[in-house]
Chain A
Amino acid sequence: MSDAATAPRGPAWPGSVRFRRPSALPGFGLTFGFATLYLSLIVLIPLAALVLRASGLGLDGIWRIATMPRVLAALQVSFGLSFAAAAVNAVFGLVVAWVLTRYRFPGRRLLDAMVDLPFALPTAVAGIALAAIYAPNGWIGSLLAPFGIKVAFTPLGIFVALVFIGLPFVVRTVQPVLADLDREIEEASATLGATRRQTVLRVVLPSLLPAVLTGFALAFGRAVGEYGSVIFIAGNMPFRSEIVPLLIVIQLEEFNYAGATAIAAIMLAIAFVSLLAINLLQAWSRRRFGHV
């Protein structure tokens, strides 16, 4: 890539002086120009190509593909399981964040570090590891098999993978808010006669709600688009355990670019909606609570 060479130099961008508020610091033209050019080449133009291709199909073209039974089934699988996984992560993520923030116990630092593993571990590695554990002869799969519970190669397996990859989001959004939460509001609640349970339910949890919802939305968004960790454990049965991203890959392999584009356009729209939802949530939280 030779973007740097083609990036406009500071003075070459005549609008810069009026465009930004005057500042003594140099380099705005150079860095702003390079950053926007780079972002355009790497992110915006490729995404625009997708939007262009999708608009060629027309809204009814996309609608026709989106309502095909197999696509509908995949959308249902992806959204339903992503929602369930994000919900599980909201509950357990809150517990993990609480424990890591409020209690001191041996191994806490290690536990804290482990939370980020799903961010750091390549998804394909997580996928084959989860498949191995939950296969009928795996560590957990063999424990569940006598009860007739099959995890790997069923929708339940997808759920497990989506819990894994969404795990850090709620923990990491709640932790800083919980750490900043003034202990005095809990004491105030106690002096007013509230039991510990009432204090947690009426004071602590409502204060954490925006952070939990943000974490939920992030985990959900990530789960809907997830591919690598899911395909190994999913079984990938059409109508049953086939996720939307996999459907895109299948369309591509069949050289059905229109189908792939239409499904991708739907996912892109969903990504933007969830991004918007998260931003609105944080703006609301800032306005109401004075923190993020």
Chain B
Amino acid sequence: MSEQAADDISGTPAGGPRRLRPRPAVAETAAMRALLIATAIGFLGLFVVLPLVAVFVEALRRGIGHYLETFADPDTQAAIRLTLTVAAIAVPLNLVFGLSAAWAVAKFDFPGKSLLITLIDIPFSVSPVVSGLVFVLLFGAQGVLGPWLAAHDLQIVFAVPGIVLATVFVTVPYVARELIPLMQEQGVSEEEAALTLGASGLRTFLTVTLPNVKWALLYGVLLCNARAMGEFGAVSVVSGHVRGLTNTMPLHVEILYNEYNFVAAFAVASILAGLALVTLVAKSLLEWRYGDALGRSRLY
């Protein structure tokens, strides 16, 4: 290999390179960079920003008066109440579950640990419709427990308990998923230190573990809450769509939409979209401010 070959590789004539300031060794050209940024912005703009904007534009299409009228409707109010109720039950339950599971998985070694972690993830990979269906098959009139429930005059599916169950099912993983990797990373040395200093187990948990995971916990609760309030498929299957009784906000959106009452549908949708935005802002703030205090792997 000779000097000649080196010049060939550079692809510039002798004397040529002197006038050029080469760009940094490992970066794209300015044009390539601009193209990539434009592509990313275009893609996200088209698929994410536009639908979000559309929700608010459609909701306000006939003016603020029409928009507000939607919320005077008792059925809408009932839907909002039910959604809040369901979230108020599902989120605390999954919070307690998440803390328990994370404590057991992250602080102890036992056989079948990775199986348990996989099981916690199941609701993420099951179709929402299937998540609802399982409760119909369990508690429905033709379900396994159907006859027994009917004999005792208890109704679970096509009633509020079914909606709560389906919502709890789909939101099981959120808190646990945030806590487990973080608590595994943190290990047990701080807790052991607290114990050697005479703290009780509960006190150790409250004064050592909890402060270490509080931001990840908040993060998980936020995501859990957003999903709980917005779940559609699973809830749709178990709800029975009784207006004013078993209609959550997302289901109410569907009913209004199918009745061609678009302004009202988008008005209710705008509340849910607002909730999504608040969640995103809080999530971004948490990541930005306390990124180090959150776990590393966040896929969902």
Interface residues of A (CB under 8 A from B): 1, 3-4, 19-21, 23-28, 30-32, 34-36, 38-39, 42-47, 49-50, 52-53, 92, 95-96, 98-100, 103, 105, 107, 109, 111-126, 128-130, 132-133, 138-140, 160, 163-164, 167, 169, 172-173, 176, 183, 186-187, 190, 193, 196, 199, 218, 221, 224-228, 232, 244-246, 248-249, 252, 255, 257, 260-261, 264, 267-268, 271-272, 274-275, 279, 292
Contact = CB atoms under 8 A, between A and B. Distances in A.
20 contacts: A1-B168, A3-B93, A31-B103, A44-B119, A92-B39, A95-B39, A113-B284, A115-B48, A121-B272, A122-B253, A123-B233, A123-B250, A164-B48, A172-B298, A190-B26, A245-B128, A261-B137, A264-B129, A264-B133, A279-B118
A128 B253 contact: yes
Given A28-B104, A121-B230, A245 B127 contact: yes
B14 to A, nearest CB: 18
Main secondary structure of the interface of A (DSSP, over half): helix
A268 B205 contact: no
Contact of A133 (B39, B50, B192, B236): B50
Nearest to A27: B201
Contacts of B63: none
A193 B9 CA distance: 8
A25 B188 CA distance: 8
A130 B226 CA distance: 20
A17 to B, nearest CB: 11
Contact of A113 (B58, B134, B136, B280): B280
A245 B48 CA distance: 23
B182 to A, nearest CB: 15
B103 to A, nearest CB: 4
Contacts of A133: 50-51, 54
B96 interface: yes
B49 interface: yes
Contacts of A140: 46, 50
B52 interface: yes
Given A122-B272, A125-B253, A275 B121 contact: yes
Interface stretch (B68-76, B138-146, B147-155, B210-218): B138-146
Contact of B110 (A20, A114, A268): A20
Interface in B230-274: 230-233, 236-237, 249-251, 253-254, 257, 262, 265-266, 269, 272-273
B109 interface: yes
Contacts of A103: 33, 36-37
A46 B288 contact: no
Contacts of A274: 125
Contacts of B201: 25-27
Nearest to B166: A46
B94 to A, nearest CB: 9
B229 interface: yes
Nearest to B109: A21
Nearest to A129: B51
Contacts of A99: 36-37, 39-40
B172 interface: yes
B48 A52 contact: no
Interface string B5-36: 00001000000000000000111110001001
Contacts of A96: 40, 43-44
A47 B127 contact: no
B82 interface: no
* Nearest 3 A/B pairs, CB to CB: A122-B230, A225-B127, A26-B201
B191 interface: yes
A238 B230 CA distance: 27
Given A98-B36, A120-B276, A133-B51, A275 B118 contact: yes
Contacts of B284: 109, 112-113
A20 B109 contact: yes
Nearest to A215: B299
A24 to B, nearest CB: 6
A249 to B, nearest CB: 6
A193 B107 CA distance: 49
B88 interface: no
Nearest to A271: B125
Contacts of A126: 51
Given A35-B100, A122-B232, A164-B48, A128 B266 contact: yes
Interface string B217-228: 000000100100
B294 interface: no
B288 A109 contact: yes
A42 B44 CA distance: 36
Contacts of B9: 193
B8 to A, nearest CB: 11
Contacts of B97: 34-35, 38-39
A248 B133 contact: yes
Contacts of A244: 127
Contacts of B101: 31, 35, 39
A79 to B, nearest CB: 13
B293 interface: no
B108 A20 contact: yes
B49 A114 contact: yes
A117 B52 contact: yes
Contact of B104 (A32, A117, A199, A279): A32
